[in-house]
Amino acid sequence: HPSAHPTSCCSAAELMSVLFFHTMRYKADDPRNPSNDRFILSKGHAAPILYAAWAEAGFIKESELLNLRKIDSDLEGHPTPKLAFVDVATGSLGQGLGASCGMAYTGKYFDKASYRVYCMLGKDISILSIEDQVNWHGKPMPKDRAQELIKDLLSQIQSPNKPLHPHLPNEDAAPADLTPIHLLTAPEYKIGDKMSTRKAYGVALKKMGDASPRVVAMDGDTKNSTFSEIFKKAHPDRFIECFIAEQNMVSVAIGCATRDRTVSFASTFAAFFARAYDHIRMAAISQSNVNLVGSHCGVSIGEDGPSQMALEDLAMFRAIPTCTVFYPSDAVSTERAVELAANIKGICFIRTSRPDNAVIYDAGEKFEVGKAKVVRQSDKDQVTVIGAGVTLHEALAAHDQLAKEGMNIRIIDPFTIKPLDASTIVASARATGGRVITVEDHYKEGGLGEAVLSAVGEEPGIVVHRLAVSHVPQSGKPQELLDMFGISAKSIVTAVKHTFAN
């Protein structure tokens, strides 16, 4: 195939031969066997040699190799887990190493098994005729030159018919345990208790660790702020400190979760997942079940200022095809979000907040993905207000203030921003004259407001007014910043009255 990187494959031929038919231990007819050695081709553009190795091992028919890069073949231009022998998708160069570290750490410390992990990276050097030459990327070699080289290579093969058999693995890794993981006890909060959702995450993670030895956690040197340290204190042998290297942390978490060996949770400030976005994008292609938890979202963190404020994260994670986006508003819903995330296929993102807010749900409240909660309603409601996290509490304060003035508003907590509970939102909008206000501690683009707009977009007669952070913020007290950017209770009251005026 003219665009299939043949030189990248040729440069790895000897290594692949030795690895697959001398060094590695695996069952060629069962590529996902938990005891198999793992091989990650981090230089994913050399996919044809990976496919050739598995054909030589007997897992792929040799004739199938001729379907490389065709639309009806799983032998894609770069490897993906559509193929049983691929654990993580590669092709965004360098990422295979972090995933391999996660897999190797899991093998050594969690599985305590003897399987090994091999990762091949490329350096783009040593093809002397084109090394350092401009304008060679993606260019096929001239056909006559290629035929000369193939003839030369074939003449050097000394035992073309020698049968090759991989070494079998030590069967010392247990089969994957896929039983659901549930909290052993209900949340231990009472309505009115004050606790931040970031701290509730730490408590919930520790409880999930109590419930199953499969739950593991990692953090980017922010464990005292994300509260993953609560898990670390209880389960130190299942916590990985990844330091200030968020890209690597995400890849390690993806690696830990491969073959369902663990249920991995990685946490840092939500803003710092932005630098790992390529790794998160690749996690979707890898069919990963990794769970990512971002704290310190929005202007409500206060004095630390805009470098620490996640204001783009909802947009970022909503755009990932396999991602469920949780935005819990109190400690009880946070605990249930963590429990749900541990059991959902695909990537999960949980957005947690810094301020201590009141618990609004009973400990026995049930939560589901894609199901919103109507937390305030009456027959006289005239506007639907949708808030999440900190802004839900601002909406509740606005509700109480407006009630004193004889105005009733309905309040919705979406719980998951993706999938969004469109039916509850549309029904509430219809019940309140088609008037909807969204309020979010996030930029206007790609956040809660736009999610609601897309949910009601084809519904006639519904008007959505969006309150969101409009420009790059600054340091200040949390309440001052909520007021400054028009997402506080005061701003909601004004917006509701403006809606009536119109």
Catalytic residues: 246
User: Is residue 432 a contact partner of residue 384, using CB atoms and an 8 Å limit?
Assistant: yes
Proportion of the chain in helix, strand, coil states, percent, rounded to 5:
40, 15, 45
Helices (H), 87-184: 95-105, 143-156
Could you write out the DSSP letters of every residue in 405-452? Answer: TT--EEEEE-SEEES--HHHHHHHHHHTTTEEEEEEEEESTTSHHHHH
CB count within 10 Å of CB 233 equals: 12
CB count within 10 Å of CB 457 equals: 10
CB count within 10 Å of CB 312 equals: 19
Amino acid at 188: E
Element (H, E) at 338: helix 331-343
Rg over CA atoms, the chain: 26
CB count within 10 Å of CB 176 equals: 12
| Token pair recorded at residue 238 | 């299942």
User: Is residue 308 a contact partner of residue 296, using CB atoms and an 8 Å limit?
Assistant: yes
| Alpha-carbon distance values, 26 to 20, 167, 249 (Å) | 9, 6, 28
Instruction: Scan for tokens 């969690």, then name that residue.
Output: 110
Instruction: Scan for tokens 């999960």, then name that residue.
Output: 348
| Token pair recorded at residue 476 | 């200040």
| 201 alpha carbon, distance to own chain's centre | 16
User: Is residue 7 a contact partner of residue 56, using CB atoms and an 8 Å limit?
Assistant: no
User: Is residue 221 a contact partner of residue 413, using CB atoms and an 8 Å limit?
Assistant: no
Q: Which of 281, 353, 267 is nearest to 317 (CA)?
A: 281
CA pseudo-torsion sign 214, 220, 222, 226: negative
Q: Which of 395, 468, 464, 411 is nearest to 434 (CA)?
A: 464
* Three-class DSSP category at 294: strand
C-alpha–C-alpha distance, residues 278 and 78, integer Å? 16
Kindly compute the dihedral angle of the four CA atoms of residues 440, 207, 287, 328, in this order, to the nearest 10 degrees: -10
C-alpha–C-alpha distance, residues 22 and 319, integer Å? 43
C-alpha–C-alpha distance, residues 222 and 220, integer Å? 5
